Structure 1
Amino acid sequence: MALPKHSGWSIERIVPLLGGSVAGASLLLGRNRSPKWRGLTAFVSANLVLYGVAGWCPMSLFLQKLGVPRTAACPVKA
């Protein structure tokens, strides 16, 4: 069974990708530069939880204003 190919970038894909990237980068900065960077990790984590529970976060609202679609169309095989 093959995995389905994604059909473009949507808010549902971009928000977790950006959140994970920023959280990882801030953890590295917190280890190598200053522990204060870990506050950014906490902020990103809180926003990802908000997005999971409520379905929106500040980044999703910003992406929506930029015209990014909320969901990508998923082709269904008959």
Structure 2
Amino acid sequence: MEQRLWLVERAYDDKGLISLVYATTDGSTVRRIERAPIAVERSGGVTAAVDADAEALEPVDDDDLRERYAAEATRMAERHDPGEAV
């Protein structure tokens, strides 16, 4: 079963990779994706949401982080279409 996740965090590491975190609107689970900038450019950019199989998701154990992810995922869902580049 697929779940929709919304972009809640974007960071750049010292190797130049882009780290993306997508979360469910309740903040309880996430999917982390690392991509090279050229791959992001070729794919048309970072989208507001992705769909992922439940087996590919990681639980969020930290209460504060879960609340922050829930707030950001909800905000993204209210303001953006899933396939919109952000």
Structure holding more strand per residue: 2
TM over 0.5: no
Bigger radius of gyration: 1
TM normalised by structure 2 equals 0.30
Structure holding more helix per residue: 1
TM normalised by structure 1 equals 0.32
